[in-house]
Amino acid sequence: MSKSIWIGAVLVTVLVLGGIAYLQYGRQPVVEQSGHAAIESSQTLPGAQPVAPPAQDTIATPDATAVAGTEDDKAVQGELESVFGSALHNWLWPDRIIQRIVATIDSLDGEPAPLRLRPLRYVEGLPIVDTADDGSLVLSPENSKRYAPYVDLFTRVDAQRVANFYLRYQAQFQKAHEALGYSGQSFNDRLLKTIDHLLAAPEVPPPIKLSRPHVLYEFDDAHLERLSSGQKIMVRMGSKNAAAVKAKLRDIRAALVAPR
């Protein structure tokens, strides 16, 4: 796979989606039916955009300000808050930040990361569910409002500043990736695979039917329930929010692959 990367895009996405994941069904982790392997495009709903092939662009070499060595959480947190805004301070766990981000990225095309490994704090609230005329459970249109603070944070971020942040900490992201057991494997490749996977999330028109066989809600449609954790988040946030997130990802990609 190409060493090209959509790195900052995934970094932003994981900060946003890592927090959004807490909004799914409350404190309980989502029980997935699929394994950890990425869901191929043939398993998504008809009409979903196919996963794009890896791009041939390459990311710029880190400049003289690049950081190496042991992660300094206080410095990382300060720079992230500078990029994303002060609102991030109340959401971000202040320890092992890069490790948490890498672990969550690794989970977005499979099963959700354990709560203890996610980068953002738990957000109170449960999904908003309506009862249709036929008695079935459906995801309420009001549910998309629960994602608004995260989507707003994401869409307002400056793409170039995200790219610059990644370049400074690129070596530490790679180190955290290898610490998960991926010795000799490129974190860039993993990120590219993940962002392509998120962009391929299907657009599902309402009403989205749910079932509740046990404690947690599930998608009533078997195709949707087999989606990865990342693609499920994209579906749950609503088509308008998902479109905004995807558009910003493309902006950040352009900033990362531009000549420097």
DSSP string, 98-111: HHHHHHHHHHTTSS
CA distances from 54 to 38, 51, 75, 157, 196 (A): 15, 9, 32, 25, 8
Q: Which of 115, 153, 172, 179 is nearest to 12 (CA)?
A: 153
Domain membership flag for residue 151: yes
Containing structural domain, residue 170: 7-127+144-205+228-257
Domain membership flag for residue 14: yes
Please, what sign has the CA dihedral across residues 65, 69, 75, 79? positive
Domain membership flag for residue 215: no
Is 122 within 8 Å of 104 (Cβ atoms)?
Answer: no
| Residue 132 pLDDT | 93
| Residue 244 pLDDT | 94
Domain membership flag for residue 134: no
CA distances from 120 to 62, 83, 89, 243 (A): 27, 16, 10, 22
Q: What is the arithmetic mean of pLDDT over 84-100? A: 86
Q: Residue 193: is its pLDDT beyond 50?
A: yes
- Provide the CA 166 distance to its chain's centre, in angstroms: 16
Q: pLDDT digit string (tens) for 40-83?
A: 333 334 334 444 444 455 555 555 566 665 668 899 999 999 98
Domain membership flag for residue 34: yes
Number of domains, the chain: 1
Domain membership flag for residue 222: no
| Residue 87 pLDDT | 81
